[in-house]
Structure 1
Amino acid sequence: MSLFITFEGPEGAGKSTQARLLYERLQAMDYPVILTREPGGTRISEMIRRIVMDLRHTEMAPTTETLLFSAARAQLVSELIRPYLNTGGIVLCDRYADSTFAHQGYGLGRDLDELQAITTVATGGLMPDLTFYLDLPVDDGLYRKQVAKGRVEQSSPGSTFTTPPEWNRLDARDLAYHQRVAAGFAELMRRDPDRWRQLTAEQPVSALAEQIAQEVEPMLKRVTRLGADA
């Protein structure tokens, strides 16, 4: 069998950091595991990422944005995610299709049924086995990212994130947009509670990493460790 785990949450919640820490933990335990991200993860998908995230592209229409994200996802699923899952491995992905429903659906007001149809085509219906939502007030998350990029001075010592993030076109949208996105994620979790694990990102990185590891541990029996059949 295989295992597909995704990470979602507001900007600045530490998704990339936690995905990397889980990857390193599983790799040290000799599990077959890869780490990827959305949009991106393949040569073509990373090229699309540069277009869709570029701060200069303020004129991009919502439909264009939706289709670009979906095109990047289609390439990632076809080239990397599905083939690796077919080998029985573990795939960790920093964002996935839920982000389209939250950002382009609830955030931009795109029709959810239309998004479902597009997403089904892009993914072939592939859904995660487990999705972590790292919960953080949206204004706190945006502030974290601004501090990390040097856009504002940090007003208090310490930090709960370790991977300096980018500041992109979606980050730069107004607070109301990000609040709609957060509300969208809340609705997605309400509709599919068995798949989601909501954890607070307002705690030390190491403590959050341990919570994530504990949630994943029971599912690892689905995956054979490297060399276990030797």
Structure 2
Amino acid sequence: VIRPLISEGSVVIADRFHDSTTAYQGFGRGLNAEAVNKINEIATGGTFPDITFYIKISVDESAKRKSKCNADLDRIERSNDNFYQKVIGGYEHLALEFPDRIKTINGERTPEEIHLDIVAKLKETMMIGIG
């Protein structure tokens, strides 16, 4: 689905992709890093994100927000704090390993502030005109 759009010159925005798989499965679930990378490569056809926004939020703040949500939680959303600490550690590791590509965003602010930060980082990184 993604590769044909990229081939056409489209910009593709995904809420989950390569880095989330690595953080959740590799770090969170403790799966073999080499296996996770190989699965990512197969699943994405070697497509790699140009930019990833790591929206950083504490486990406590995440729990507060989930408690306000009326929706049913999926299997991952029902995971314990230890799992989420590992996932956060995974994202932190990836952000340090790929600082030019992975942009850390303070997710404990308002949606409007987060949006403005993302737009600013897109302008800076991608050198594109966004209104």
SS in 2 for 1:144: helix
Question: Which blocks of at least 5 consecutive residues in structure 2 are unaligned?
Answer: none
Q: Find the counterpart in structure 1 of residue 104 from structure 2.
A: 198
Q: Find the counterpart in structure 2 of residue 104 from structure 1.
A: 25
Please report how far the alpha carbon of residue 221 of structure 1 lies from its aligned counterpart in structure 2 after TM superposition. Answer: 4.1
Structure with higher Rg: it is: 1
Question: Which blocks of at least 5 consecutive residues in structure 1 are unaligned?
Answer: 1-79, 150-164, 223-230
List structure 1 segments (4+ residues) > 4 angstroms apart after TM superposition.
none
The CA deviation string for residues 136-165 of structure 1, in whole angstroms up to 9 with x for no partner, is 10121122022112xxxxxxxxxxxxxxx6
- Aligned 8 A contact 2:18 2:49 in 1: no
Q: Find the counterpart in structure 2 of residue 81 from structure 1.
A: 2
Whether 1:136 aligns to 2:64 is: no
TM-score, with length taken from structure 2: 0.89
Please report how far the alpha carbon of residue 209 of structure 1 lies from its aligned counterpart in structure 2 after TM superposition. Answer: 0.7
Q: Find the counterpart in structure 1 of residue 15 from structure 2.
A: 94
Higher RCO, 1 vs 2 (CA within 8 Å, ≥6 residues apart): 1
> Of Structure 1 and Structure 2, which has the larger fraction of its residues in strand?
1
What is the one-letter code of the residue matched to 1:138? Answer: V
Counterpart CA distance in 2 for 1:206 and 1:87 is 31
Aligned equivalent of 2:68, options 143, 147, 154: 147
Within 5 Å, give how 1:16-27 maps onto structure 2.
none
- Aligned 8 A contact 1:102 1:182 in 2: yes
SS in 1 for 2:77: coil
Give the aligned CA root-mean-square deviation in angstroms.
1.7
What is the one-letter code of the residue matched to 1:216? Answer: L
TM-score, with length taken from structure 1: 0.53
State the identity %: 31
**Which is worse superposed, 166-175 or 187-196?**
166-175
Whether 1:175 aligns to 2:81 is: yes
Q: Find the counterpart in structure 1 of residue 115 from structure 2.
A: 209
